[in-house]
């Protein structure tokens, strides 16, 4: 019976995470890279030390090469949220998969014990 309780507990944990999947927001795979540049104009503010902020989203493309996409200033906060949501979802999916594996393993163990096998 302890296996059943453990399986039930694992199923409840899994179901709680599955409900969280229903609250998915927009997401995007990749890393947001923020950096600063100088434009080279000697009269520009960056020549005096105040550099221009830039941002790119980098990710692995279909051919596994790194792809970089420029992110406009007005989209940076939104894209940062998308990246955070992707990481949250990735972690959540990993947790669900691990719980499913534990449920499966305990089910197999329980069946063996019922048949009298160690």
Q: For the segment 10-38, what is each residue's pLDDT rounded down to a tens digit?
A: 889 989 998 888 888 999 999 999 999 99
What's the confidence (pLDDT) of residue 29?
Answer: 94
Instruction: Write down the domain spans for the chain.
Output: 2-114
Task: Confirm whether pTM is higher than 0.85.
Answer: no
DSSP string, 41-84: -TTSGGGGT-PEEEEEEEEE-TTS-EEEEE--GGGHHHHHHHHH
pLDDT one-digit tens code per residue, 42-85: 999 988 889 999 999 999 999 999 999 999 999 999 999 999 99
């Amino acid at each position: 019976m302890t296996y059943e309780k453990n399986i039930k507990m694992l199923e409840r944990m899994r179901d709680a995470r599955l409900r969280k999947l229903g609250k998915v927001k927009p997401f995007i795979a990749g890393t947001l890279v923020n950096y600063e540049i100088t434009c080279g104009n000697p009269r520009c503010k960056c020549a005096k030390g105040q550099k221009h902020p830039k941002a790119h989203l980098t990710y692995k493309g279909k051919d596994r090469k790194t792809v970089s996409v420029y992110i406009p200033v007005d989209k940076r906060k939104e894209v940062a949220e998308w990246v955070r949501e992707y990481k949250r979802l990735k972690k959540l999916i990993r947790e669900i998969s691990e719980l499913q594996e534990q449920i499966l393993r305990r089910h197999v163990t329980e069946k063996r014990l019922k048949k009298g096998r160690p």
